Amino acid sequence: MTWSLFLEIWLIAGVISAVWHVIDEWWHHQVFEASPRDILLSNSIVVGLCLIAGPIGLAIKLWEKFFDPTNI
């Protein structure tokens, strides 16, 4: 496995995680009546963290969605 393939898999997992996090947490913006600037800032921070975390963020989101015992 080459480093470029590893990086590609990492970024793909990060993009999937970012999209999932933004869609799943969109209700925060509606509840707090966020301005477009606040929404852009919040989402860009989340996307940046997801791209850095890569598959770790995806694993966390999978755990929260399907395996977390407190998510009843």
Percent of the chain with pLDDT over 70: 97
Residue-averaged pLDDT of the chain: 90
User: What's the pLDDT tens digit per position in 6-26?
Assistant: 999 999 999 999 999 999 888
pLDDT on residue 13: 93
Contact assessment for residue 49 and residue 57, using Cβ atoms and an 8 Å cutoff: yes
- Record the pTM: 0.82
- pLDDT of residue 28 exceeding 90: no
